[in-house]
Chains A and B, each alone.
Chain A
Amino acid sequence: MDYLFQRSLDDLVKGLRSQAAASGESRYVAKALEEIRKEIKATDPHIKAAAVHKLAYLNALHGVDMAWAAFQVVEVMSMPKFSHKKIGYLAASQSFTDSTDVLLLITNLLKKDLSSKNEFEAGMALECLSRIATPDLVRDLTQDVLTMLGSSKLYIRKKATLVLFKVFSKHPESIRVAFKRLVEKLDDRDSQVVAACVSVLHELARQDPQPYLLLAPELYRLLVESTNNWLLIKLVKLFALLMPLEPRLAKKIAEPLCEQMRRTSAKSLVLECIRTITVGLLDNTEVVELAAGKLQEILAASHGGDGEDDDPNLKYLGLQAVLDLLPVYPQLVTQSKSVIISCLNDVDPSVQMASLRLIVSMVSDSNLADTVQILMRYALSAEKIFCNELLSSILSTCSRSFYELVTDFSWYVGVLGELVRVPNFEQGKEVERQLVDIGLRVESVRKDLSRLARDFLIDSSTWENSHIHRVLAAAAWIAGEYVELAGDLFEIVEALLQPRMKKLPPSVQAVFLQAVLKILVHFASAAATAVDAEVVDKMVTLIRENAGSLQSHVDTEVQERASNLFGLISFIEDEAGSGEMLAGIREAFAKDLGPVSQFSQQRVVVPDGLEL
């Protein structure tokens, strides 16, 4: 009679919900668990089953571990009463894993229930098997599942067919024996079983499509005859996997595919057909035309006009599909250009990204400038993450294949300058790399670069954004490297040594110092007249004042470069011999640094006798 006092599941749930605080809830759960631990040991089946039921609830909805009760779960699964059995199976399905040791005990139980006259018991056992299958369990029960494929009950045949997939995955050798039996289900008198069979074939074909090619005629018949949407989608997907293996297959299914696209009102099927077309039918113009037409309808449907009735799903999927069809139907983009561009500031980030990907893939050298302009415009008003996606696309598209698309580098240097000033800019490293890279490769644009560098160094308002710092390093390097092209060198040295520079990261400061060194060398060695000599003095004083403290900087590189700089200064001030020295250094700096091929090292012949 104990069970009259046992807390039922209802009581448990109500009790839990009446706990206001989380701490109250966890105390309640702990108390309930204590009760369950006692109740679960009872011999009375009702008490045991109710305990397992409550435990399953706590496990499912509150993450309470129930691995310790595995044995009792098996006991409940073995109970004769359907109501108890079902609870046991639910708990097992939910909590058993590959490492549950009681799995060894349930083989016979499952065998018995799989062959039960009660179809629901058999169904339960099948479901549980599909969830907890281990290679051992499956090996022992494969034959039982295969027998169920021939059951007179549709309910059983359907479940058994789907569970076959699990059987095959856990016990691959069974495919040889069971394949024929599975394929027979394609001819089952009930469409749900046929659909189940196609589902399994599709999952199997995903791993290796070759063996299923011979089923093509059967599948073709189904493609033509079926009206069940779920089944059709699976069939279309299956054909997408088979088409690459047999070119004639594509031609054969072109017509039924078109027919389905024309007939159906389900956009899911239309989109699936389009995906399959992009896999193997892109050379068939009629099919592509139809697909493009359907896609345009979808895109049009996705925009409610005033933005209120927009269907975000269709927008997103539509854009993806346009990208897939792009290689053969670029007209789609030009036709829907304004729609696509307006998606750049859509409220949904996925739609924004899909739109961006589409625009980037349409870029050519003739529309590069326009595209960049559009992207910049949207970047200015976009929030941080997407803004940087836009900027990063501009950077990677323009630098693709060694700047293949860029015809006017002067323009591009201007773009880089604008880019850096965009409020949410974070692409410092890439811009640094490109500025230096372009300087090395494109001689004609070095003057523009120098001007840009000067602007960056002098306008310190941009220095606020920490991502600019790498760009500043590039600017300093450019100023130093192309020192003959820079305008007012004094101004630049002033900028390089302004007090704010001490707040920059040490690696950047180091580059700044080296630039100052180069400029000083250039200046001092070129100083011919007394007027020039005065300017050199002024420069030296400036350096002394501002960079003196850097000689004792914490960072070793900064310290070293600062010391070098001051060493140089003392040379300059010591008249004798400095002229030759300076000329020598200047010559070293005058040699152009060019990009080095990555294979150059290999070409260097290792001298005899050198052991590396």
Chain B
Amino acid sequence: MIRFVLLISRQGKVRLTKWYSPYTQKERLKAIRELSALILPRGPKLCNFVEWKGLKVVYKRYASLYFCICVDSEDNELDGLEVIHHYVQVLDRYFGNVCELDLIFNFHKAYFILDEILIAGELQESSKKSVSRVISAQDTLVENAKEQASSLSNMIAQATK
């Protein structure tokens, strides 16, 4: 299973973390620190897998971001790369030529999308189309809810409560 997902920028700034295994706050910070030191300096010609604490970390760099997933030592590495690529493609489709800035300003959407691809540390949906469909359906729901809230009558109702 996937133990956690990390998105780190080239300068070592964390852009997303999702933990599927129990890690205390202290352990999380330590993991981030250690993996940043292990992965960021690696050149482009090196393989995309590193061993860390008896586990494997599969990573791939897309533009300025390192996408890292930590998996069990028997897990299939190339499969891990596929999962990362799947996530990146969905992000790209959603944001239209996604860049790091998109993920910074819309961190919650990055999480929502990840939550439609992985759950409980396993892949849940391998079709990019399905994921995109589900995300836009939820976006619509959110937009409708927000519209209701900002309708004038609602504002007046709130103000005169």
A residues lining the B interface (CB < 8 Å): 1, 9-10, 13, 17, 44, 46, 53, 56-57, 60-61, 63, 65, 81-84, 86-87, 90, 93-94, 97-98, 118, 120, 126-127, 130-131, 155, 158-159, 162-163, 165-166, 192, 195-196, 199-200, 203, 206, 228-230, 233, 237, 266-268, 271-272, 310, 312-313, 315-317, 347-351
Bound complex: CA of A267 vs CA of B79, how far in Å?
A: 9
Q: How many angstroms between the C-alpha atoms of A424 and B129 in the bound complex? A: 55
In order of increasing CB-CB distance, the 8 nearest A-B pairs are A268-B78, A312-B47, A83-B145, A130-B120, A348-B46, A316-B47, A83-B142, A81-B145
B window 124-161: CB within 8 A of A: 124-127, 130, 134, 137-138, 141-142, 144-146, 148-149, 155, 158-159
Closest-by-CB residue of B relative to A307 is B45
- The CA of A220 and the CA of B13, in the complex, are separated in Å by 46
A-B contact pairs, 12 of them (CB 8 A): A1-B155, A44-B158, A56-B108, A57-B107, A86-B142, A163-B120, A196-B122, A196-B124, A199-B122, A230-B126, A268-B76, A316-B47
**B137: shortest Cβ distance to chain A, in Å?**
7
Please encode chain B, from 10 to 51, with 1 for each CB lying within 8 Å of some chain A CB and 0 for all others: 000111110110101100010000000000000101111111
- Across-interface contacts of B78 in A (CB, < 8 A): 266-268, 271, 313, 317
Would you call A158 and B124 a contact (CB within 8 A)? yes
Residues of A within 8 A of B148 (CB): 81
Of B25, B77, B107, B130, the residue contacting A61 (CB under 8 A) is B107
Question: DSSP class of A's interface residues: helix, strand, loop or mixed?
Answer: helix
Task: Report the bound CA distance from A81 to B154 in whole Å.
Answer: 13
Is the beta-carbon distance between B25 and A87 smaller than 8 angstroms?
A: no
Q: How far is the CB of A226 from chain B (nearest CB, A)?
A: 12
Query: Are B137 and A159 in contact, with the CB atoms below 8 A?
Result: no
Query: Which residues from chain A contact B45 at a C-beta distance below 8 Å?
Result: 310, 312, 347-348
Which of chain A's residues have a CB closer than 8 A to the CB of B145? 81-84
The reply to whether B159 and A86 form a contact with Cβ atoms under 8 Å apart is: no
Instruction: Determine whether the beta carbon of A13 is less than 8 Å from that of B105.
Output: yes
Contact with A along B49-66 (1 / 0, CB 8 A): 111000000000000000
Judging by beta carbons under 8 Å apart, are A312 and B142 in contact? no
Bin the interface of chain B by size: 35 or more
A158–B125 touching, CB < 8 Å:
yes
Known: A81-B145, A228-B126, A267-B78. A163 touches B119 (CB 8 A): yes
User: Contact: B126 with A316, CB < 8 Å?
Assistant: no
* A166 cross-chain contacts in B, Cβ below 8 A: 120
Chain A neighbourhood of B49, CB < 8 A: 313, 316, 350
Of A17, A192, A315, which one neighbours B125 at CB under 8 angstroms? A192
B interface residues, Cβ below 8 angstroms from A: 1, 13-17, 19-20, 22, 24-25, 29, 43, 45-51, 74, 76-79, 81-82, 104-105, 107-108, 111-112, 115, 119-120, 122-127, 130, 134, 137-138, 141-142, 144-146, 148-149, 155, 158-159
Q: A155 near B134 (CB under 8 angstroms)?
A: yes
B138 proximity list for chain A (CB < 8 A)? 86, 120
From B79, B112, B149, A46 is in contact (CB under 8 Å) with B149
A349 to B22, CA, bound (A): 31
B110 to chain A, nearest CB (A): 10
B126 touches A271 (CB 8 A): no
A86-B108, A271-B76 given. 16 additional CB < 8 A pairs? Answer: A1-B155, A82-B142, A82-B144, A83-B149, A86-B138, A98-B22, A120-B134, A155-B134, A162-B119, A228-B126, A233-B79, A268-B76, A312-B45, A313-B47, A347-B45, A351-B47
A313 lies within 8 A of B48 (CB): yes
CA distance A90 to B79 in the complex (A): 27
B150 to chain A, nearest CB (A): 9
Assembled-state Cα–Cα distance A94/B20 (Å): 10
**Shortest beta-carbon distance from A399 to chain B in Å:** 27
Chain B nearest CB, measured from A79 CB (Å) = 10
Cβ contact of A162, chosen from B51, B105, B122, cutoff 8 A:
B122
- Closest Cβ of chain B to A28, distance in Å, is 15
Shortest CB-to-CB span from A132 to chain B, Å, is 10
Q: Which residues of B contact A118 (CB under 8 A)?
A: 141
Choose one: A1, A203, A316; the contact of B159 (CB below 8 Å).
A1
* A15, chain B: closest CB distance, angstroms: 12
User: Most A CB atoms within 10 A — which of B50, B119, B144?
Assistant: B119
Assuming A155-B134, A347-B45, is B149 touching A203 (CB within 8 A)?
no
Nearest A residue to B118, CB-CB: A162
Instruction: Kindly identify which residue among B20, B46, B120 contacts A350, using a CB–CB cutoff of 8 Å.
Output: B46
Contacts of A46 in B (CB 8 A): 149
Residue of A nearest to B51 (CB): A350
Measured CB to CB, the closest approach of chain B to A53, in angstroms, equals 7
Nearest CB on A from B154, distance (A)? 10
Q: A316: which B residues are within 8 A, CB to CB? A: 47, 49
Q: Are A81 and B47 neighbours in the complex by a CB distance under 8 Å?
A: no
Q: How far is the CA of A44 from the CA of B150 in the complex (A)?
A: 13
